[in-house]
Structure 1
Amino acid sequence: MYGLGDVDFFDRIAPLYDLVMPSADGAALAAGLDHAARPIERLIDVGGGSGRAAAALIGPEITVADASLGMLSRARRVRGLDGVAVDAGRLPFRDGSVDAVTVVDALHHLPDREAALAEAARVLAPGGALVVREFDPETLLGRVLVAGEHAIGMGSRFYTPAALADAMDAVDLDPRIVDRGFGYTVVGVRR
């Protein structure tokens, strides 16, 4: 696999993760997925960890894709989800084979965010949507989060909503900033 980034940390905290993290915002994810220009039958949750975001979604066939074996074990054992150990920069899915990709509270942990966005774009079918929920490092809470993650040794790198939209455009996705704030959503629709 790739340079592991924050994977060791998530392997260590996997048994406690769901106890300390709030549920994913299912309404925000659904609002993002509504931008898809095709029916969503197959979804890949990249950096999906314990399946927290997948559990907030209803309908499509979901595969959790993560580099942390501890977190994937929880997704399988606790939530009954399909999971695959992956490098987000080299997804093991065919070109145009999925209708949607989500990355929830995880993009900032990926060692090569640009490669992960390019891979998400590659596996999306035309009209499919990449929905990213992230934290804005320019908000007060965002600055606190950045400082906290760096203090515990994480290599986190955060996009602002506008910078993420630009990064999506660079990989041939039509970007849309759906909502703003500490937690924000940006969607990229495959052209």
Structure 2
Amino acid sequence: MIPFNYLGYFFKHFGSVIYPKEVLDELCIFLEPLHNEASVLDVGAGTGVMSEFAHRRNSKLKYVAIDPAEGMLKYAPNYAEVHVGTAEALPFEDDSFEAILMGESLHHFYDPDAAMKEVVRVLKKDGKLFIYDFDLGTFRGKAICTMEKLLGEPGHFYEVDALKKMLEGYGFRVEVSKHKWRYTVSANL
């Protein structure tokens, strides 16, 4: 298992370099319709890099970060409310958030179905979900998946069409954009 609890400093200082400009552009488009003071949950936040990118676009949103690795969260931005926890058991009331972000976290969830049920539960009506991850349908995506599984990670990587179908099964309307060996998903309930 990757010792994320001890890697916070590394991810804080180097984690953002793996986010291509196209992904950040799509994140900006995703955030645009949100009203000021909308609640945004960063699931599997790590050091909060997705929240940081989002905050640059709209600093008036209310940011909440959750991750099981306390050692990562200690590097989260101070404007984010921080919680130690998992995607499969979100410690929030029903209908709490207008938007949820998942930046390279979905493949780390031990039970993606349980996590998606929680996402749907805590999203408000007409809530939005943004996912950025590696495409299992590409050579690099398969290589990353194999490496992570060898390191003891769950490795729940998806091919784009399979993820789209799964999210539609939870009631999302899904738009997918491919970026070479990565993808983004913008989904609405």
Aligned length: 179
Map of 2:35 onto structure 1: 39
**Aligned amino acid, residue 113 of structure 1:** P
SS in 1 for 2:89: coil
After TM superposition, what 4+ stretches of structure 1 lie above 6 angstroms from structure 2? none
Map of 1:69 onto structure 2: 70
Give the gaps of 5 or more residues in structure 2: none
Map of 2:118 onto structure 1: 119
Residues in 1 aligned to 2:152 and 2:88: alpha-carbon distance in whole angstroms: 22
SS in 2 for 1:22: helix
Map of 1:3 onto structure 2: none
Map of 2:135 onto structure 1: 136
**Aligned amino acid, residue 18 of structure 1:** K
Residues in 1 aligned to 2:47 and 2:139: alpha-carbon distance in whole angstroms: 28
User: Could you tell me how far 1:154 is from its partner in structure 2?
Assistant: 2.1
Deviations 1:58-93 (A, max 9, x none): 321111111111111111xxx213211112111122
TM-score (norm: length of structure 2): 0.85
SS in 1 for 2:74: helix
1:182 aligns with 2:176: no
SS in 1 for 2:75: helix
SS in 2 for 1:184: strand
Query: Which gives a bigger RCO, structure 1 or 2 (Cα 8 Å, sep 6+)?
Result: 1
Deviations 1:147-167 (A, max 9, x none): 222233322120111111111
TM-score (norm: length of structure 1): 0.85
Sequence identity of aligned pairs in percent?
25
User: Could you tell me how far 1:45 is from its partner in structure 2?
Assistant: 0.3
Give the gaps of 5 or more residues in structure 1: 1-5
Map of 2:3 onto structure 1: 9
